[in-house]
Structure 1
Amino acid sequence: MATAANPTRDDFAALLDEALGQGDGFEGRVVTGTVTAIENDMAIIDVGLKSEGRVPLREFAAPGAKAELSVGDKVEVFVDRVENVHGEAMLSRDRARREAAWDKLEVEFTAGNRVDGVIFSRVKGGFTVDLDGAVAFLPGSQVDIRPVRDVTPLMGMPQPFQILKMDRRRGNIVVSRRAVLEETRAEQRTGLIQSLAEGQIIDGVVKNITDYGAFVDLGGIDGLLHVTDLSYKRVNHPSEMINIGDTVKVQIIRINKDTQRISLGMKQLESDPWEGAEAKYPIGAKFSGRVTNITEYGAFVELEAGIEGLVHVSEMSWTKKNVHPGKIVSTSQEVDVVILEVDADKRRISLGLKQAQQNPWEAFAEQHPVGSTVEGEVKNATEFGLFIGLDGDVDGMVHMSDIAWGVSGEDALNLHHKGETVSAQVLDVDVEKERISLGIKQLERGGVSAATGGASGGLNKNAIVTVTVMAVTDGGLEVQAGDDGAIGFIKRSDLGRDRDEQRPERFQVGQKFDAMVSGFDRSKKPTFSIKAMQLAEEKQAVQQYGSSDSGASLGDILGAALNKAREER
């Protein structure tokens, strides 16, 4: 039987197992130990095992700080191994803090709470954050609400973070400082919005300027000052009136508490120029203004600061139709306009530019009454007449029936060409329809006279008329139809059918004889022909008095025809 003084083999085995297995429950756990000594930047810690462990002092300090540790302090460490090759316990303060931190962070992450941490280094794509032992990743985009160029002031400073993602198995934690700032700012915005009211006047600082307006800081919350609310006058860009950093006085126009958007205005602090606009700008009154903008449909003219009117393209010019307004006026040009319509409710004024000038058709009618003579250039020829450019930048029309006596249609139109300067008589002026009727033939003698048939209507081609010799030349005769008719010409070759008759010297000034109207030259003067008349009479005589079997000679036929013609006259 074995005694305490003499243990058996089984007792020795039990004692050995007890001694060797005393650390089975320690490995992989966080335990509390006592600092027994500090040697060469190492802390000697007793955790109740048969051997002590060594832990670097730096593991007991925050990043960049000095460890404050003394002999006898109680500390928590992680038991990595009970004994290493040197017979010492493998302990870690970092692992202990990390495990404790992970336990705490998992609780805070589940609850959605913020956690405190310190940014301590820069890595690719962001920064590393010490969360009281656990290392987290802070992406660069999550540092602040707006991009931050220099993060140095934020490093080493304890501050709150929001955990976005955790994976303990992989040791991965992602945090955000921006989420905390946005949440804090939202709380501040909500509180500030509650203290603001529509219509309130408040000072703010211009933070940013865009094409459509400016953002104004109202002390923790931004409001939008739209470009249309800067001033009653036209503002093309906000920078014309304000600059970044300016302190401005604004009025709160609208507050949307759901979206937390605030609309601001500056012009609302000024008197509205549209009040009493109808009285200030009566219809028909003439004012001076400055062209501020030109569009395809018209031009805007500023009558005073804050009041603009539109000159529609149809009211730009009396004579320039279907042209771009930019060809009539230019930006910043001072112009005179007439008030056509005022709608103060819609803030619209219709203006007329042409009404500020005299109607050119009225001016023409005053300066050129019906019956007067005008001169102008042929601008265009149409199928019904000629358009003549006149004084005052207006056109008059000569109907083809008023171009020349006895000629109409295309023959009349061909008497003139584009660019030719002609004289004409004013026949009618219709101011309302903006029409001027002219006549060219009315300036020529021989239109309606007793010598040419009275009311039968002037000289007609192929008509037989009595002419008087006015002058004898080598090329022919200058003759006048009737006593006071049109003056024309008979070429030498038209003085007779036979060559012996084609001698101008056989005629005398003042001599009268019959001739046929053979046509009109480019100046619409008639041309006459004795030869054409003789041939026509001969042809008619043969038809009436002669035949192939009558036996009468040509002389007999012509003699009978001439005798009958003399009797009829």
Structure 2
Amino acid sequence: KVVKINQEFRNVVVSHKALIEAELEAQKQVIMSKLEKGQILEGTVKNITSYGVFVDLGGVDGLIHITDLSWGRVNHPEEIVALDQKIQVVILDFDDQKKRIALGLKQLTAHPWEALDQNLKVGDKVKGKVVVMADYGAFVEIAPGVEGLIHVSEMSWSQHLRSAQDFMKVGDEVEAVILTLDRDERKMSLGIKQLTPDPWENIETKYPVGTKTTAKVRNFTNFGIFVEIEEGIDGLIHISDLSWTKKVKHPGEFTSVGADIDVVVLEIDKENRRLSLGHKQLEENPWNEIEGQFAVDSVHEGTITEMNEKGAVVSLGENVEGFCPSRQLTKEDGSMPKVGDKLDFKVIEFSKATKRITLSHVRTYEEARRAEVAAEKAEKRAASDATKSTVKKINASVEKTTLGDIAGLAALKSAMEAAEAKDAKASKKATAKEETAEE
């Protein structure tokens, strides 16, 4: 067929291929005119790509998408077909001009769900192969084209968030229990933790209240520590149950994630699958002894371990802390102490119920001052009282002597007067006798 003439160069271009293409196009039009959806044809695998297979239908090419090769999962079309392989396909769809033809291979066989054992039910055990992994779970093929999802929450009785890759990988052969089965929606959920007993079924007998054991620290919150006693059995140690004496602001001050910690079971919440645990309860409550040691008005040496705008936390010895308000912290010279300083503190309040010891440094020297002033006043008062007593004694002595003298003089006067009267009387008698004698 002449395809080009060049007059200038007196050149003619001819092509045999053009004749062949024309014949092929005519042949293609004949084939295309006869295509119908659902029609089954035989073709030859012409090309294989990662997304599908091109099949020559005798002058017309069609594409089998990777999802239409098999009811099961296909990683690459080469797993199903090979180049130049003759296969039967079904026409799924084509465009108006019939330039693109969608073919299917799996549609030539019944859907595997339709062939699934009708006796299979929830609770039955099945075996399969892990075909796809995701963080949230694993898809297990229990028959070609029939898959079930094992959610990560159904892989272990533990409530800790974990990835499905921690339990299995693609290619693993696993046994599982059917949890849900919907044949209409062709969905199935599976579980593997159901193959082992639920650890919470006999929790009351396995870990009764008062049980002492060791747990592993899993994570912290502001209000406590989450621990795991064994796979699937978790518990919470409230921050207030960590120590009898030390005020723990955050669990990170007390332990670390991954560490072991001794605990005692305080309460069982079977419904929410959680144990209330304690650590301080492993020891006797020391506050009875502390109450006698740190009585109100007793003075102790303490070390300031922490300061804030409200006051200072004071260490009074091993695991015993007190709090000194800011107004009670001032030193005798007017300065404020700092963290690490050792000072004397007076106990001004002791609360066994709230486990709180309130301290004062100010009172240790103010009361000493008051005591000195009181002593001075008492001394002065005593001296004054002594002086007054002496004066009083002297006055009393003087008064007593004066009165004595007055009494003595009165007696002397009376005696003298009596003597004078007697003498006068005697004289009168003598005179009378003389007169009588003379007569």
* TM-score normalised to structure 2 length: 0.66
Equivalent residue number for residue 218 of structure 2: 292
Deviation at 1:349, TM superposition (A): 1.6
Equivalent residue number for residue 153 of structure 1: 82
**Structure with greater proportional helix content:** 2
Q: Please show how residues 157-236 of structure 1 align to structure 2 within 5 Å.
A: 157-167=86-96, 172-177=99-104, 180-181=105-106, 183=107, 187-192=111-116, 194-220=118-144, 221-233=146-158, 234=160, 236=162
Query: Could you tell me which of 356, 368, 376 is aligned with 2:302?
Result: 376
Deviation at 1:286, TM superposition (A): 2.9
Q: Please show how residues 325-474 of structure 1 align to structure 2 within 5 Å.
A: 325-357=251-283, 359=285, 361-362=287-288, 364-365=290-291, 367-369=293-295, 372-378=298-304, 388-397=314-323, 414=334, 417-418=337-338, 419-438=340-359, 441=363, 458=374, 465=377
Deviation at 1:261, TM superposition (A): 1.5
Deviation at 1:197, TM superposition (A): 0.8
Q: Please show how residues 515-530 of structure 1 align to structure 2 within 5 Å.
A: none
- Residue 119 of structure 1 aligns to a residue in which SS? strand
Q: In the superposition, relative to structure 1, how do residues 416 and 271 fare at CA in structure 2: closer, same or farther (>3 Å)?
A: same
Unmatched runs of 5 consecutive residues or more in structure 1? 1-79, 81-89, 404-409, 453-457, 468-480, 484-511, 514-569
Q: In the superposition, relative to structure 1, how do residues 427 and 257 fare at CA in structure 2: closer, same or farther (>3 Å)?
A: same
- Residue 291 of structure 1 aligns to a residue in which SS? strand
Q: In the superposition, relative to structure 1, how do residues 438 and 185 fare at CA in structure 2: closer, same or farther (>3 Å)?
A: farther
- Residue 414 of structure 1 aligns to a residue in which SS? coil
- Matched-pair contact (CA < 8 Å) for 1:230–1:265: yes
Deviates more, 1:210-219 or 1:184-193: 184-193
Q: Distance in 1 between matches of 2:239 and 2:67?
A: 56
If asked which structure has higher relative contact order (CA below 8 Å, sep 6+), I would say 2
- Matched-pair contact (CA < 8 Å) for 1:311–1:351: yes
Q: Distance in 2 between matches of 1:203 and 1:243?
A: 15
Deviation at 1:236, TM superposition (A): 2.4
- Matched-pair contact (CA < 8 Å) for 2:93–2:102: yes
- Residue 257 of structure 2 aligns to a residue in which SS? coil
Query: Could you tell me which of 156, 179, 184 is aligned with 1:258?
Result: 184
- Matched-pair contact (CA < 8 Å) for 1:117–1:130: yes
Equivalent residue number for residue 53 of structure 1: none
Q: Percent identity?
A: 30
Q: Distance in 1 between matches of 2:311 and 2:191?
A: 62
Deviation at 1:334, TM superposition (A): 1.0
Structure 2: which amino acid aligns with 1:148?
A: H
Q: In the superposition, relative to structure 1, how do residues 122 and 284 fare at CA in structure 2: closer, same or farther (>3 Å)?
A: closer
Q: In the superposition, relative to structure 1, how do residues 93 and 387 fare at CA in structure 2: closer, same or farther (>3 Å)?
A: closer
Structure 1 vs Structure 2 CA RMSD = 4.3
- Matched-pair contact (CA < 8 Å) for 1:282–1:339: yes
Q: Distance in 2 between matches of 1:416 and 1:398?
A: 12
Superposed CA offset, 1:327-370 (max 9, x none): 43222211112323212122122223344455564563365455
Structure 2: which amino acid aligns with 1:223?
A: G
Aligned residues: 357
- 1:241 is the counterpart of 2:167: yes
Deviation at 1:307, TM superposition (A): 0.9
Q: In the superposition, relative to structure 1, how do residues 124 and 150 fare at CA in structure 2: closer, same or farther (>3 Å)?
A: closer
- Matched-pair contact (CA < 8 Å) for 1:425–1:443: no
Deviation at 1:263, TM superposition (A): 0.9
Q: In the superposition, relative to structure 1, how do residues 136 and 422 fare at CA in structure 2: closer, same or farther (>3 Å)?
A: same
Deviation at 1:128, TM superposition (A): 4.2
* TM-score normalised to structure 1 length: 0.52
Q: In the superposition, relative to structure 1, how do residues 185 and 333 fare at CA in structure 2: closer, same or farther (>3 Å)?
A: farther
Q: Distance in 1 between matches of 2:115 and 2:49?
A: 37
